[in-house]
Amino acid sequence: MTTPLADAAPQAAGTDPEQARALVFPLYADRALETGELLSEHAQALATIVAAVRPDQDLVAAAYLFAVHDVIRDADRWLRNHFGASVALLVADLRQLRHLSDSVRNRMRAAGAHPAAAPEGQDEALRRMLLAMVNDMRVVLLRLGSRLQTLRYLAARRVTGVEAYARETIALYAPLANRLGIWQFKWELEDLALRFIDPDAYQRVARLLEEKRGQREERVLSAVAGLEAALRAAEIHAVVSGRPKHIASIAAKMSAKDLEFGQIFDQRALRVVVERISECYEVLDIVHRRWRPMEGEFDDYIAKPKTNGYQSLHTVVEDADGKPLEIQIRTRAMHEQAELGVAAHWRYKEAVGDDRAESEKIAWLRRLLDWQREVDPGDRPEAADRVYALTPQGRVVELPQGATAIDFAYHIHTDLGHRCRGARVNGALVSLNTPLRTGQTVEIMSARTGGPSRDWLNPELGFLAGARARTKVRQWFNAQEHEQSVAAGRDLITRELQRLGRTAVAHEDLARRLGFASAEELCAAATKDEFSLRSIEQVLAGPVANPTPAPITLDKPRPAASGGRGSVLVVGVDSLLTSLARCCRPIPPDTIIGFVTRGRGISVHRGNCANARGLMERQPERLIEVEWEAGSGRTASSYPVEVLVLATDRQGLLRDISEVFAREKLNVIGVNTHSHRDQAEMSFTIEVPDGAALRRSLAQLAEVKGILVARRK
């Protein structure tokens, strides 16, 4: 139960950590966290941790006030009155991250899974969501310090049954500390987590280490001092640093590479950073003269960089006590590339893909945590263009900015999106066009049957923000229209067969005889102008004798009139190269869709094109809205289309077909014909101004004696 906010006038505003401690500790009283640790003890330890890393008064005050929302109503106003907006924002963000962590961990416990056992990509999505949720990036330091103190407390009291905390630390917090370069957090988080996840491995490595960590650190410092003195004597300006390898890292390397403890040569390591490449090799010579190099343990990644661009000299030597010491030597440029470029340590260690926006945010955060200089708040990167929402089971869903509950539902499953009828966000009912925010939990309410609404495709109503969801809605309506067309065509064909007294004829057999790939395709064509039901009577009546068809004389091919390709507009974009797909040859006013090709602009397909449907399924992100330019088909533009004609072969057939095209003033630019068992199959490529001209010519062809089918391919 929270304490009411006192009406008494607050003290003068300002950032004073001791004032924060004095005000809030009496309110914490004997309250405790879920782990059993008292709020006051956790706050004091957290303040000590962040003060040691960065002596920032706002940070230390926020550490003392980390749980103030748990004990004071209207804590935001109280914090602003006493400590200002900066501290209030830090504490609010920290509270949000605490709740996110608790929510995900508790849901996964209820589902019987650990965070580390989440679906592939979930750990990375959680890390990105955490970074996207904060307003002041310094709060990440507070969250890391809080988790470090929690693990210290659990380890000190030997608490059991807390593997969920440890696994969450390995999956989320240790990689964040690694990315931000806060190495002292990283190694201790990993070591403490390993004690709970695999205590046997932890104890085995700890026993194998002959020295305490403090002793190993002393040896590293001694090696650093000795090498610095040798480099000064050689008048080489260099920065030398060192670190002992921690227990979790040793255990991981032994397991990953199936090595024995004695084969881990980088238990202690030094890094030397110089200005020029030539100095790298001078330092290498000094190192090998000072210590004896170990045979077979030298790699020149400067002369032969790694595939990710990483460059450095690596050598392993024996110190005065005969113990291995790894030394890395590189220039400042190589070091910056390794730390922040594509070859960054955290990238190839964690196998994370390149993401420019995230990289910029991490780089900015590293600058912010660099206590050697101040950073202008105006340097902060723009807000991320992604939204990270949670399912009720704790799964992270990454969506485009402005995404709604419908986008969320389609991301989970296409069928859930189709049946979506409502949504709860953080337990409250919201309208389906409400934009989601990072960190919200979304629960979809769905009907047992039904489909999407056409209103969802109206951009002015704001129901959908992602191209993926829009594509799936269009596909649903296209499928519904196709099913309706097939059903109507099946009725027409059935009635025609009844009229002819040929109800025993199977639709599949009829489709084959009429040149269709399936009965479904035949039924769909029966509802269009390109197919006449008279063809059924003619094909069932049987063939008639036919002489060899006379040759047909074609006009010379001529290029399409100017404007043919320019009559397609890419919605919302001007002056993009477009081309009509040859697989389906769209013409106005066909329903069309665009597909972004590699190097050839926008390829325009008919909406019912089989190739286009395949592209929709495989690469929906490359689809783009296109439409015919106003007036298309009423200008001098012409479009090539292919027409299939099936007929009972006879003398003069090609002449009669040519007369139809001539009357309609259509240019024939290609023809292919062959006969089999008194049936002729002809394929014509003609140029038409629009769909109306094509329909007229097909209707006239259907009236020509002997023609069974005349349709557009």
pLDDT in tens, 683-710: 898 888 888 888 888 888 888 888 888 8
391 pLDDT above the threshold of 70 = yes
Question: Is residue 365 in some structural domain?
Answer: no
Residue 556 banded pLDDT, cuts 50, 70, 90:
very low
Residue 554's pLDDT band, with cuts at 50, 70 and 90, is very low
- The pLDDT of residue 147: 92
Summarize pLDDT for 518-534 with one digit per residue, the tens: 888 888 888 775 567 77
| 184: its two tokens | 């002292």
In a shared domain, residues 247 and 313: yes
Q: Is the link from the previous residue into 589 a cis peptide, with omega within 30 of 0?
A: yes
Q: Tell me, what's the pLDDT at 45?
A: 93
Amino acid 135: pLDDT: 66
- Cα separation, 468 vs 465, whole angstroms: 9
Closest CA to 30 of 15, 16, 17, 41: 41
CB-CB contact of 117 with 393 (8 Å): no
What local confidence, expressed as pLDDT, does residue 388 receive? Answer: 81
pLDDT(546) > 50: no
Of the candidate ranges 137-151, 190-204, 307-321, 537-551, the one whose mean pLDDT is the lowest: 537-551
How far is Cα 311 from Cα 303, in angstroms, rounded to an integer?
Answer: 8
Q: What is the mean pLDDT of residues 669-690?
A: 84
Please report the pLDDT score of residue 525 as a whole number.
81
**Tokens, residue 699:** 């209707």
Q: Are residues 545 and 616 in the same domain?
A: no
502: confidence class by pLDDT, cuts 50, 70, 90: confident
How high is the pLDDT of residue 227?
Answer: 92
- pLDDT band of residue 503 (cuts 50, 70, 90) is confident
Within 8 A by CB and 6+ apart from 474, the residues are: 457
In the sheet that 639-648 helps form, which strands lie side by side, from edge to edge? 667-676, 679-688, 639-648, 707-712
> Hey, what's the torsion of the CAs at 650, 655, 661, 664, to 10 degrees?
-110
* Better pLDDT: 112 or 490: 490
Q: Nearest CA to 147 among 57, 61, 69, 49?
A: 49
More confident residue, 31 or 499: 31
User: How confident is residue 104, by pLDDT bands cut at 50, 70 and 90?
Assistant: low
Q: pLDDT tens digits, residue range 569-585?
A: 665 555 567 788 888 88
What does the pLDDT average to over 511-518?
82
Instruction: Say yes or no to pLDDT of 255 above 70.
Output: no
User: For residue 60, what pLDDT is reported?
Assistant: 92
Q: Is the pLDDT of residue 485 over 70?
A: yes
Q: Which of 446, 462, 478 is the last residue of a domain?
A: 462
**Residue 5: its pLDDT value, please?**
39
**Residue 208 domain-assigned?**
no
Task: Identify whether 368 is part of a domain.
Answer: no
- Taking CA atoms, 639 is separated from 223, 566, 587, in Å, by 79, 12, 6
141 and 226 share one domain: no
Q: Are 459 and 409 in contact (CB under 8 A)?
A: no
pLDDT digits (tens, 9 = 90+) for 338-386: 654 444 444 555 544 455 555 555 554 554 454 333 434 444 444 456 7
pLDDT interval class at 622 (50, 70, 90): confident
Same structural domain for residues 607 and 664? no
Query: Residue 473: inside a domain, yes or no?
Result: no
Same domain membership, residue 552 and residue 576: no
Based on the fold, state whether residues 219 and 192 are members of the same structural domain: no
Q: Are strands 578-580 and 602-606 parallel, antiparallel or unpaired?
A: parallel
Q: How many structural domains does the chain have?
A: 5
Identify whether residues 549 and 675 lie together within a single domain: yes
Q: Same structural domain for residues 317 and 184? A: no
- For residues 219 and 302, membership in a common domain is answered with yes
Same domain, residue pair 244 and 349: yes
| Whether residue 619 is found in the same domain as residue 555 | no
**Domain limit, last residue, from 197, 231, 249:** 197
Distance CA 428, CA 442 (A): 9
Question: Average pLDDT of 608-633?
Answer: 75
Query: Looking at residue 31, which CATH number applies to its domain?
Result: 1.10.3210.10
Q: Please report, for the domain that includes residue 673, its CATH number.
A: 3.30.70.260
pLDDT tens sequence across 181-203: 676 788 888 888 888 888 877 77
- Name residue 390's beta-bridge partners: 396, 441
Angle at 325 between CA 322 and CA 327, to 5 degrees: 145
Chain mean pLDDT for the chain: 77
Question: 160 in a domain, yes or no?
Answer: yes
**Mean pLDDT value of segment 275-282:** 94
Q: Which residues contact 257 (CB under 8 A, 6 or more apart)?
A: none
pLDDT higher than 90, residue 330: yes
Is there a contact between 81 and 10 (Cβ–Cβ < 8 Å)? yes
Torsion of CA 73, 76, 77, 81, to 10 degrees: 120
Domain assignment of residue 436, yes or no: yes
Q: 78: domain range?
A: 17-197
pLDDT at 236: 92
Among 462, 482, 498, residue at a domain's last position: 462
The predicted model gives 253-281 an average pLDDT of: 74
Checking if the pLDDT of 247 tops 90, the result is no
Question: 594 pLDDT band (50/70/90 cuts)?
Answer: confident
H/E stretch holding 293: strand 292-300
At residue 381, the pLDDT reads 41
| pLDDT given at position 73 | 84
Q: What percent of the chain has pLDDT over 90?
A: 16
Average the pLDDT over 234-245 and give the result: 83
- Structure confidence at residue 553 (pLDDT): 41
Do 583 and 706 share a domain, yes or no? no
Q: Quick check: is 713 in a domain? A: yes
Using the predicted structure, report yes or no on whether residue 118 has a pLDDT greater than 80: no
Q: Is residue 48 included in any domain, yes or no?
A: yes
Tell me which residue of 549, 483, 542, 493 sits closest to 516, measured CA to CA: 493
CATH number of the CATH domain containing 414: 3.10.20.30
pLDDT reported for residue 211: 53
Burial of 100 (0-12, 13-18, 19+ CB in 10 A): buried
pLDDT for the residue numbered 263: 54
* Selection from 184-188, 240-244, 328-332 with the highest mean pLDDT: 328-332
Task: Give the lowest-confidence range in 25-39, 87-101, 506-520, 617-631.
Answer: 617-631
Residue 431 confidence (pLDDT)? 92
Assign 410 a pLDDT band (cuts: 50, 70, 90).
very high
* Contacts of 102 by beta carbon, 8 Å cutoff, 6+ apart: 34
Indicate whether this model's pTM tops 0.85: no
